[in-house]
Amino acid sequence: MLDQQTNTIQQGGYAISKDTVVEARNPEKGTQDDLTDLLREGAKRLIVEAVDAELFATLSEFDDYVGEAGHRDVVRKGYFPYEKG
Q: What is the DSSP string of 27-64?
A: GGG--S-HHHHHHHHHHHHHHHHHHHHHHHHHHHTTTT
Q: What pLDDT was estimated at residue 8?
A: 58
Q: Within the chain, which residues score under 50 in pLDDT?
A: none
Distances from the Cα of 21 to the Cα of 9, 18, 24, angstroms: 20, 9, 9
Q: What pLDDT was estimated at residue 1?
A: 56
The answer to pTM > 0.75 is no
Q: What pLDDT was estimated at residue 51?
A: 92
What does the alpha-carbon distance between residue 35 and residue 13 come to, in Å, rounded to a whole number?
Answer: 44
DSSP-derived letter for residue 26 is -
Q: What pLDDT was estimated at residue 77?
A: 75
